Amino acid sequence: MPHFGLIDENLSEIEKLLLRARLHVRGGKIRIKLNRVSDGIAALYDAMIHAFYWFFLKDDELKPLLCDNHGNYKDEDHLYNILISLGKINRGFNMKTFLKLSEMALNNEVNDYDYKELLKNYNHLMEQLGVIPYDEEKLPKGTPITL
């Protein structure tokens, strides 16, 4: 995975979430460019999950909405809809399609996929969440095991 060995354990939990999201965005895009589409989409999915957790936890208004009554994180579609309903982000990302594609990617079933539109909409979502853009120089350097 794009974050193995790259996250400083001295960071706060919230800082780790943002860094992991950014590392997975970077790693996912690299994998897609290398035609490892399933791996790339799986990494982008991981980035999105951690971006949501980070976004909710950094905001005192949103923090209580992150978990259900049992203390488990709500699913991605639910978190996305909360952010839409509160006006924190706007529509334009097809979450249901992305989740289906992510499931296929996790089963290594995505090989030939025109990902340009997906990346455009994904980037817009990640911009709204504040995950991108980021300064590449401030991210830990990738290694062969993380790529």
The kind and range of the H/E element at 46 are helix 37-57
Taking the CB of residue 139, how many other CB atoms lie within 10 A of it? 14
Tokens of 39: 């791996």
Please compute the mean of the pLDDT values over residues 132-140 and round it to a whole number.
80
Asked whether residue 52 is domain-assigned, the answer is: yes
- Phi, then psi, of 44 in degrees rounded to 5: -65, -35
Q: Over 60: is that where the pLDDT of 25 sits?
A: yes
Tokens of 96: 């249901």
Asked whether residue 77 is domain-assigned, the answer is: yes
Number of domains in the chain: 1
**DSSP codes, 93-104:** --HHHHHHHHHH
Check residue 92 and give its pLDDT.
Answer: 86
Confidence of residue 7 (pLDDT cuts 50, 70, 90): low
Domain range for residue 34? 13-130
Asked whether residue 34 is domain-assigned, the answer is: yes
Please compute the mean of the pLDDT values over residues 20-38 and round it to a whole number.
92
Check residue 124 and give its pLDDT.
Answer: 96
Question: What are 97-133's pLDDT values in tens digits?
Answer: 999 999 998 888 777 777 788 899 999 999 999 999 8
Positive or negative, the Cα torsion across 72, 107, 16, 133?
Answer: negative
Question: What are 32-78's pLDDT values in tens digits?
Answer: 989 888 999 999 999 999 999 999 999 999 999 999 989 899 999 99
Q: Over 60: is that where the pLDDT of 5 sits?
A: no
Q: What is the CATH number of the domain that holds 67?
A: 1.20.120
Cis peptide before 133 (omega within 30 of 0): yes
Asked whether residue 22 is domain-assigned, the answer is: yes
Give 73's DSSP letter.
B
Q: Over 70: is that where the pLDDT of 8 sits?
A: no
